[in-house]
Amino acid sequence: MHTVNAHGANIPALGFGTFRMPGPDVLRILPKAIALGFRHIDTAQIYRNEAEVGDAIQASGIARSDIFLTTKVWVDQYKHADFLASVDESLNKLKTDHVDLLLLHWPSRGVPLAEQIGALNAVKQAGKVRHIGVSNFNTKLMADSVALSDAPVVTNQIEYHPYLDQSIVLDAARAAGMSITAYFAMADGKVPNEPLLKDIGAKHGKTAAQVVLRWLTQQDGVIALSKTATESRLSENFDVFDFDLSGDEMAAIHRLARPNGRIVSPGGLAPDWDRVD
């Protein structure tokens, strides 16, 4: 498995995401994903499936040290004491004494960012978290987080797919030595039907979905989260490192970006997004 290194965090470049995946589906599909070779698993408190993720990892027969496990603290737990308690609850559900990466799930104006970053550092110093990061942050919030943190901020997990130009955030992350973790890579189902992606895939004997996962992971410092509840799709999502896209193919995929390409922007949570001129 290819890895991305950011401030000493060696993160498998392809992760298995569990967003919108009910517990029974996690228990059914995650063991198969681990058996296939997935070693980076992404969950969150708000997904309500941490316990099932923990059960699947524990039953997998794979050493916990061989799994890179990410979870995220929800915005209603950002006050310092609540944050610490919520992390203990997550660890209990996940049946582990630490997670490899802990993220602030969304920005929140309700608690000072310094308090949020302080809590991230506190759980890292306590040995409950190996690395810390953020999610859905714009470049201003990224820079503020880095400035406020004693520990390195290793990733910003953001929506990223061919229809959304994230070059501003990517440039800022690279300048700060951070990685970008891409979610919604399939653009909520649009990718598999995109003619350009299907044409490129045909040249490589790959599907459009595989092309996009390769497009993401072929970019410097980018990690891609894949997700499926369909067993037959697991091997398709995993089999993306045996080919390379040409410079022209990479550029053509980038050109699919459009001004209205963002899909995820919930009111009350979304920051002022960076805009490409």
User: Does residue 181 lie in a domain region?
Assistant: yes
- Residues annotated within the binding site are 105
Closest CA to 108 of 148, 137, 84: 137
Q: Could you tell me which residues come within 8 angstroms of residue 200 by beta carbon, excluding any fewer than 6 positions away?
A: 208, 211, 245, 249, 252, 253
Please tell me the total count of domains within the chain: 1
Cα–Cα dist 92/87, whole Å: 9
Q: What is the pLDDT of residues 109-149, one digit of tens each?
A: 999 999 999 999 999 999 999 999 999 999 999 999 999 99
Range of the domain at 69: 3-186+220-227
pLDDT at 1: 73
Mean pLDDT, rounded, of the chain:
97
User: Does residue 253 lie in a domain region?
Assistant: no
Q: What is the pLDDT of residues 71-93, one digit of tens each?
A: 999 999 999 999 999 999 999 99
In contact, 7 and 178? CB cutoff 8 Å: yes
Residue that the structure tokens 């970053």 belong to: 117
User: Does residue 40 lie in a domain region?
Assistant: yes
- Residues annotated within the binding site for substrate are 105
User: Does residue 8 lie in a domain region?
Assistant: yes
Cα–Cα dist 185/163, whole Å: 10
In contact, 6 and 177? CB cutoff 8 Å: yes
Cα–Cα dist 239/82, whole Å: 40
User: Does residue 61 lie in a domain region?
Assistant: yes
DSSP string across the chain? --EEEETTEEEESEEEE-TT--HHHHHHHHHHHHHHT--EEE--GGGT-HHHHHHHHHHS-S-GGG-EEEEEE-GGG-SHHHHHHHHHHHHHHHTSS-EEEEEE-S--SSS-HHHHHHHHHHHHHTTSEEEEEEES--HHHHHHHHHH-SS-EEEEEEE--TTS--HHHHHHHHHTT-EEEEE-TTGGGTGGG-HHHHHHHHHHT--HHHHHHHHHHTSTTEEEEE--S-HHHHHHHH--SS----HHHHHHHHTT--TT------TTT--------
| Active-site entry in 47, 160, 163, 183 | 47
Q: Which residues of 183-201 are buried (b: 16+ CB within 10 A; e: fewer)?
A: bbbbbeebbeebeebbebb
CATH of the domain at 28: 3.20.20.100
CB-count burial class (<10 Å; 0-12, 13-18, 19+) for 148: middle
User: Does residue 247 lie in a domain region?
Assistant: no
Mean pLDDT by 10 residues, the chain (277 residues): 94 98 97 97 98 97 97 98 98 98 97 98 98 98 98 98 98 98 97 98 98 98 96 95 98 97 97 91
User: Does residue 256 lie in a domain region?
Assistant: no
Tokens standing for residue 257: 């970006």
Cα–Cα dist 254/73, whole Å: 32
Say how many C-beta atoms besides its own lie within 10 A of residue 264's C-beta.
13
pLDDT at 276: 86
pLDDT at 248: 98
User: Does residue 237 lie in a domain region?
Assistant: no
163 is catalytic: no
Cα–Cα dist 165/103, whole Å: 23
